[in-house]
């Protein structure tokens, strides 16, 4: 378990602060993560990677010459927000465009995609690439749905080495695509991980058993088998990966491969070496030439007892890039000339933080009516934060049935931050629209992940609809909820029946629009719609998930409602109480 922490909610920020203080030779802090402390040649493509905390050395430990130019770092097991990614990418950009790279998880796809749009709007040419190497999470015919695990490293490195050679953005992207298409990973676990402040692991494995096909966010394996010996584990990993070769590789004999035996947190290096001796022998028996193998902790999951094997099937070009030198806090290879410091960087304190003084917060002008409405918005967000806090453990248990169990934690972080940001904006005299948009940014930043992106979108849609000029009436609120429903479906791609929050959001929005259309006051219309939401959330228990981290464990979730749908229903009812109090 994770033993050393202060406030669990501050764990990721404090870990990043300590990391930057310890590694100033390689990195400097920026809002949202870190960038190289050394100068990047003008016109070079910037490779910006990222993901949630809890996976060190991924992602911040891979920033440095020969590898990433920057890393956006989210909260524990939660993707960084679009605003954080945009900040890191802007700081890393050297004039050659930006390639954003991340593991293939719904939250990362949403946030990195939003960041790419914002960068493009700033005039920075940007491309994205999601690593999808985990063969246990989807079959070959659905390889685009696979998760990204330890295969992140060879794919990140190939793209970054190509960028170091001065290739233009489109060619760097093609290298990433080539490396991704030739990378496969498979893992096993003997126990789950425990997040800071939690009193139990995200999943457990029975005594003398192992989970097969694990995820790196505490997701349980897709099956269980008897606990193997080291040689049996090696055989399972190798034989599983050799069953699925890239399309242009007919036979492993005579092929070259970059090999990574990755420890996920609490399997000791000596144990890894015992396993690797057999991995190397089995690959040799299959005629595979191993190129620069890596054995150690490269993509972890806190204290998870598990290992994964990654094979990247090399051609001449990919081998050149895999062998290229790199110098980062956690990954070094070959030799590089002395680095030039980045003289343009801002001064930092002893703790490694930027010393620039932030501008005093300001809010747009608002009418008296909108400022009064902002008081109701603030009360509603307070009700949201309180109901989420009261049900956080329950939401985590629901999520853990087929997911990673962190929905309650993420919702608590997001709703608390949103209420705090809303209170600050309200205190400065903001109108209802600004209070909601400030809350939206805070929720997305602190929660990260899929829920952070979606709730940020919901609050921002509502804020845009309400504005700061007039007192919002029931029809305008309903219009904002309808726009939020459309925005969430457009962003995440889910529809009713996929077993997501959309299964509640759509009927809630429709019911609210119908009730306000009949002329009901807002509180009465919201009450009717909240009742619809509660029923819709319960109905998700009968559905099988078609999206998100629960999809590989679809059968396990049957009979349990979707956590995101359930939390949304709870929130709609809590907001109704706030509307009654501020009628």
Q: Please return the burial class of 475, using the count of CB atoms within 10 Å of its CB with bins 0-12, 13-18 and 19+.
A: middle
Question: Residue 80 in 3-state DSSP?
Answer: coil
**Radius of gyration of the chain from Cα atoms?**
24
Q: What are phi and psi of 337, to 5 degrees?
A: -65, 165
The closest alpha carbon to 128, from 172, 92, 158, 90, belongs to 172
| Residue 35 β-bridge partners | 28, 70
Cis peptide before 57 (omega within 30 of 0): yes
Burial pattern 523-534, b for ≥16 Cβ within 10 A else e, equals bbbbbbbbbbbb
Q: Please provide the size of the chain in residues.
A: 583
Is 111 among the residues known to form the active site?
A: no
Q: Report the relative pairing of strands 256-263 and 223-226 from DSSP bridges.
A: unpaired
| CA pair distance 335, 324, nearest whole angstrom | 9
Q: What are phi and psi of 294, to 5 degrees?
A: -125, 130
DSSP string covering 182-209, please? Answer: TEEEEEEEEE----TT-SS-SS---TTE
Question: Residue 73 in 3-state DSSP?
Answer: strand
Residue pair 261/307 in contact (Cβ under 8 Å)? The answer is yes
Question: Residue 69 in 3-state DSSP?
Answer: coil
The residue from 23, 55, 69, 217 that is catalytic is: 217
| CA pair distance 106, 492, nearest whole angstrom | 8
* Helix/strand/coil (H/E/C) assignment for every residue in 205-272: CCCCEEEECCCCCCCCCCEEEECCCHHHHHHHHHHHHHCCCCCCCCCCCCCEEEEEEEECECCCHHHH
- Kindly list the catalytic residues: 217
């Amino acid at each position: 378990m994770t033993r050393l922490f202060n406030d669990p909610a501050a764990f990721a920020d404090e870990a990043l602060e300590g990391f930057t203080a310890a590694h100033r030779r390689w990195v400097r802090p920026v809002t949202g993560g870190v960038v190289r402390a050394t100068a990047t040649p003008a016109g070079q493509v910037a490779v910006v990677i990222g993901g949630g905390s809890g996976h060190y050395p991924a992602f911040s430990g891979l920033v440095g010459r020969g590898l990433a130019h920057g890393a956006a770092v989210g909260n524990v097991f939660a993707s960084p927000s679009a605003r954080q990614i945009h900040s890191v990418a802007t700081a890393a950009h050297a004039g050659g465009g930006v390639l954003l790279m991340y593991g293939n998880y719904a939250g990362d796809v949403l946030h990195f995609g939003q960041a790419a749009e914002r960068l493009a709007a700033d005039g920075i040419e940007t491309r994205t690439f999601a690593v999808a190497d985990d063969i246990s999470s989807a079959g070959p015919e659905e390889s685009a749905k696979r998760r990204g695990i330890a295969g992140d490293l060879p794919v990140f490195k190939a793209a970054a080495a190509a960028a170091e050679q001065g290739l233009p953005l489109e060619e760097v992207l093609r290298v990433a695509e080539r490396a991704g298409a030739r990378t496969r990973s498979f893992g096993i676990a003997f126990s789950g991980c425990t997040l800071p402040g939690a009193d139990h692991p995200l999943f457990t494995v029975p005594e003398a058993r192992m989970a097969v096909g694990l995820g790196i966010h505490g997701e349980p394996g897709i099956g269980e088998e008897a606990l193997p010996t080291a040689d049996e584990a090696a055989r399972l990993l190798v034989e599983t990966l050799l069953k699925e070769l890239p399309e242009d590789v007919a036979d492993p004999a005579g092929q070259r491969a970059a090999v990574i035996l990755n420890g996920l947190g609490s399997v000791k290096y000596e144990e890894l070496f015992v396993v690797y001796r057999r991995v190397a022998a089995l690959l040799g028996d299959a005629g595979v030439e191993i190129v620069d193998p890596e054995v150690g902790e490269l993509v972890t999951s806190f204290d998870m007892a598990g290992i994964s094997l990654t094979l990247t099937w090399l051609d001449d070009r990919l081998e050149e890039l895999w062998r290229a030198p790199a110098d980062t806090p956690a990954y070094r290879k070959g030799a590089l000339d002395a680095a030039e410091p980045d003289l343009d960087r801002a001064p930092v304190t002893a703790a490694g933080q930027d010393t620039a003084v932030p501008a005093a917060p300001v809010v747009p002008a608002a009418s008296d009516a909108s400022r009064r409405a902002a008081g109701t918005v603030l009360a509603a967000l307070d009700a949201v934060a309180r109901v989420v806090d009261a049900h956080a453990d329950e939401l985590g248990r629901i999520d853990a049935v087929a997911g990673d169990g962190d929905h309650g934690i993420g919702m608590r972080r997001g709703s608390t931050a949103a209420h705090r940001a809303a209170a600050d904006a309200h205190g400065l005299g903001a109108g209802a629209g600004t209070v909601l948009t400030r809350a939206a940014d805070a929720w997305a930043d602190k929660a990260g992940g899929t829920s952070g992106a979606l709730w940020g979108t919901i609050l921002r849609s509502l804020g845009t609809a309400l504005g700061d000029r007039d007192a919002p009436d029931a029809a305008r609120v309903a219009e904002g909820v309808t726009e939020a429903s459309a925005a969430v479906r457009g962003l995440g791609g889910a529809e009713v029946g996929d077993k997501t929050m959309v299964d509640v959001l759509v009927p809630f929005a429709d019911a609210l629009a119908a009730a306000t259309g009949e002329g009901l006051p807002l509180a009465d219309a919201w009450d009717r719609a909240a009742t619809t939401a509660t029923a819709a959330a319960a109905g998700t228990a009968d559905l099988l998930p078609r999206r998100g981290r629960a999809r590989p464990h679809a059968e396990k979730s049957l009979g349990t409602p979707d956590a995101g749908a359930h939390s949304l229903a709870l929130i709609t009812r809590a907001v109704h109480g706030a509307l009654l109090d501020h009628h």
